[in-house]
């Protein structure tokens, strides 16, 4: 049994591919380096046309009310990833490809795991259907009302199904 495990580990490591370069940010969970389209593994960001609701306080002379205002959370997510990368070189470690032939990868700017950074700051959610790795980061963002968690939003996967 140990021999099989070692072979699987070696085989898995051989399948990993590093893609390094200056990226173009497509949206909050997709980048492109040269001709490689890369989907950030384990996260799901709002779609570019997706609207969310941001909480804001309106104060009258006697009492405060909480209201929600629509904003384009997909564009915000993309902008935050683009600003974080800031035209720097990134390294993506691809483990597989999806049905759209995009590389599924964990990407880094220097030592920062960009997938984790997006979830921990509330600009994407943990894509629990495929990976549970970023659930603690999502919990952190939710508890601290960061990014999407400042208001109300529909999970991107559900939004895609309805639109």
Q: Please give the residue range of the domain that contains residue 32.
A: 16-162
> How far apart, in whole angstroms, are the C-alpha atoms of residue 47 and residue 119?
15
pLDDT value of residue 96: 95
Position 11 confidence tier, pLDDT thresholds 50, 70, 90? very low
5 found inside a domain: no
Q: What is the CATH number of the domain that holds 53?
A: 2.40.50.90
69 found inside a domain: yes
4 found inside a domain: no
What are the pLDDT digits (tens) for 116-146? 999 999 999 999 999 999 999 999 999 999 9
8 found inside a domain: no
Domain count of the chain?
1
């Amino acid at each position: 049994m140990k021999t099989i495990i070692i072979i699987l580990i070696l085989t898995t490591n051989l399948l990993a591919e590093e893609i390094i370069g200056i990226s173009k940010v497509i949206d909050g969970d997709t980048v492109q380096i040269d001709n490689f389209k890369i989907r950030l593994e384990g996260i799901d960001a709002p779609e570019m046309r997706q609207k969310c609701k941001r909480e804001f306080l309106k104060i009258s002379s006697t009492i405060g009310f909480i209201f929600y205002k629509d904003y384009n959370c997909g564009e915000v997510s993309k902008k935050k990833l683009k600003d974080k990368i800031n035209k720097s070189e990134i390294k993506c470690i691809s483990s597989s490809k999806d049905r759209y032939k995009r590389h599924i990868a964990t990407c880094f700017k220097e030592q920062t795991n960009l997938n984790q950074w997006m979830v921990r700051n509330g600009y994407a959610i943990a894509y629990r259907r495929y990976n549970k790795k970023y659930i603690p980061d999502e919990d952190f963002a939710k508890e601290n009302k960061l990014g999407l968690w400042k208001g109300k939003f529909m999970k991107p996967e559900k939004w895609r199904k309805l639109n």
